[in-house]
Chains A and B, each alone.
Chain A
Amino acid sequence: MIWSKEETLPREEIEKIQLERLKETVHRVYERVPAYARKMDEAGVRPEDIRELSDLSRLPFVTKQDMRDNYPFGLFAVDKDELVRIHASSGTTGKPTVVGYTRGDLETWTECVSRIACMGGASSKDVAQICFGYGMFTGALGLHYGLENIGAAIVPSSTGNSQKQIMYMQDFETSLLVATPSYALRLAEVAREMGVEPERDLKVKIALVGSELLTDAMREEMHKYWGKDLLITSNYGMSELMGPGVSGECTEHCGMHINEDYFIPEIIDPATGDVLPAGEKGELVITCIKKEGLPLIRYRTKDITRLFYDKCKCGRTFCRMENLSGRSDDMLKIRGVNVFPSQIEEVILSVEELGPHYEIILEREGYLDKLTVKVELAQVTDSFSVLERITATVKNKLKVILGLDAKVMLESPNTLQRFEGKAKRVKDLRSK
């Protein structure tokens, strides 16, 4: 089901809305946000210079650093008393990034997530269990309001207490699960430990996953635990832009439709900042064109993806962004080689005998980086040759794909750390 008529507008009409809203936003931000006006003055561009959509590239970027520099409310375009909600993203270094919503922003958010929920197959019939942490994190409440808006029954179970989560699923006949891919796998493991076979004993048919990369291999792994018929779609967003609801995958599984009447996407070369043509891979930059509280312009997401504008079989005309292949932030430099953890994950998940949990450890030995990958056996075997083959396979594949020698350590089933929120699988112990 398509939630809103805007989702199927012809391209010219989408662009007409975008241009109108962009101009309005740029004028408003220039008048109300001194930090942004200063940036524009430095770049030598005035609000009235924005006459066409292509003029967007003349505007300066906003980065996470700008948000830190203007902590907490410096980039807001409204007075504090117009805000009705404040969220913050956990900053691993220094201050968190603060985001605020007006009443209008919350309506926008609800609308955007409602669309994404419908794209992923949700309907008013669903019992939706939200296993994202509630709190300052935008993920849980974003999905909560969107799913509630389309009429689903919300079970706000948050994270933790996994056995109780499984009990709710059984007793409330949960049909839709919101979780990170790694927590969805953890929940399936816990169910099995309790003697509950997810595919047979539970009624979960839809999974809306986010806040973590969903690689094809991870999707396969989820099917292994939850059954091949589970409809898995990923959705994308970040608190700086709004939270979940920027884009979502439709049931055609060919990328995530961006809510283009609220967000204008661009792909840039992360090194030069130049805008790349459609279809090329680069860093995603998003401009919010209908936000009141925090309308970020040309925000550098650091997420690496591509954009596709060809028509989708689902009928929506909004462009699609490819499921993420990594964040430039997550990229590891090992012995001079650029490595995305997702590449290592793909190797591990391709080996039948290994479970989906792993740990990547980076150390420095002398002047050399040392890569260790800890992987977990799906089950114990009594065959030494099987274990040797597993180790050799992982080593060889890593060598072929990354060109790096890695130490592969096998671990017993159920021994590596499990995560309820965003998984942290990389331990970089090299002194910077």
Chain B
Amino acid sequence: MFAKQLTVFIENRTGRLSEVLDVLKENKVNILSLSLADTTEFGLLRLIVDNAALGKDKLTQKGFSSLLSDVSIIKIPHKVGSLQKLLKTIDENGVNIEYMYGLSIESDEAYVVLKASDVNKIDAILNENGIKTISCEELGKI
């Protein structure tokens, strides 16, 4: 299963990030997880939200350029070594991980957002290995 990640490009100007967050707040788009990568020249905000399509629409109306892309939200046991095990499985099957972030943690389970170089292949690999992926909606309910 894929989840839709909302990516917003942010020019490095004061207040840009909070403007983006304002738009989401005003439209009741709930942020479940995020990663912000930035340099002195630009920033890239990657978001998992409960309604990515709505978020994109509203951002476009406000003049922000964004992108929806397929990522996997993977459920792993919340214990030492489980992330390493997951990465090993993916690695052995020859898929590259472009980036990974965000652990939304419960008492005994954790979630990682992962973008693979080959999104269809990663889905098959995860299924074959009995690794559970969830949707944004499901994540929102937790």
Contact = CB atoms under 8 A, between A and B. Distances in A.
B44 A382 contact: yes
Interface residues of B, number: 21
Nearest to B66: A380
A54 interface: no
Given A382-B44, A384-B37, A387-B42, A410 B65 contact: no
B51 to A, nearest CB: 18
Nearest to B37: A384
Given A409-B12, A412-B65, A414-B65, A380 B7 contact: yes
B65 A380 contact: yes
Given A382-B44, A384-B44, A384-B99, A412 B67 contact: no
A391 B8 contact: no
Size band of the A side of the interface?
20 to 34
Contacts of A381: 7, 9, 67
Interface in B26-76: 37, 39, 41-42, 44, 46, 63-67, 69
Contact of A382 (B41, B64, B69): B69
Contact of A410 (B8, B42, B63, B69): B42
B65 A377 contact: yes
* Consensus secondary structure, chain B interface: strand
A389 to B, nearest CB: 12
Contacts of B8: 380
B64 A412 contact: yes
Contacts of B133: none
Contacts of B11: 409-412, 415
Contacts, number: 53
Interface in A281-327: none
A34 interface: no
Contact of B46 (A382, A388, A408): A382
A10 interface: no
A377 B43 CA distance: 13
A65 interface: no
A380 B63 CA distance: 13
A412 B39 CA distance: 15
Contacts of A380: 7-9, 65-67
A383 B66 CA distance: 12
Contacts of A415: 11, 63, 65
A410 B67 contact: no
A391 B41 contact: yes
Nearest to A412: B65
A403 interface: no
Interface string A392-432: 00000000000000011111111100000000000000000
Interface string A350-389: 0000000000000000000000000001011111110110
A391 B44 CA distance: 14
Contacts of A409: 11-12, 41-42
B138 interface: no
A413 B42 CA distance: 13
Q: Which one of A377, A408, A409, A412 has the highest number of Cβ atoms from chain B below 10 Å of its Cβ? A: A412
Contacts of B99: 383-384
Given A377-B9, A382-B5, A411-B11, A387 B44 contact: yes
B98 interface: yes
Nearest to B12: A409
Contacts of A384: 37, 44, 99
A410 B9 CA distance: 9
Contacts of A383: 98-99
Contact of A412 (B9, B37, B98): B9
Interface in B98-141: 98-99, 115
A380 B10 CA distance: 10
A101 B129 CA distance: 83
B59 to A, nearest CB: 10
A410 B41 contact: yes
Interface in A119-140: none
A351 to B, nearest CB: 15
Contacts of B39: 388
B65 A382 contact: no
A380 B11 CA distance: 12
27 contacts: A377-B9, A377-B65, A380-B7, A380-B65, A380-B66, A380-B67, A381-B9, A382-B44, A382-B46, A382-B67, A382-B115, A384-B37, A384-B44, A387-B42, A388-B39, A391-B41, A407-B41, A408-B41, A409-B11, A409-B41, A410-B9, A410-B11, A412-B11, A413-B65, A414-B63, A415-B11, A415-B63
Interface of B: 5, 7-9, 11-12, 37, 39, 41-42, 44, 46, 63-67, 69, 98-99, 115
Interface of A: 377, 379-385, 387-388, 391, 407-415
Given A382-B67, A413-B65, 4 more contacts: A381-B9, A381-B67, A409-B11, A412-B64
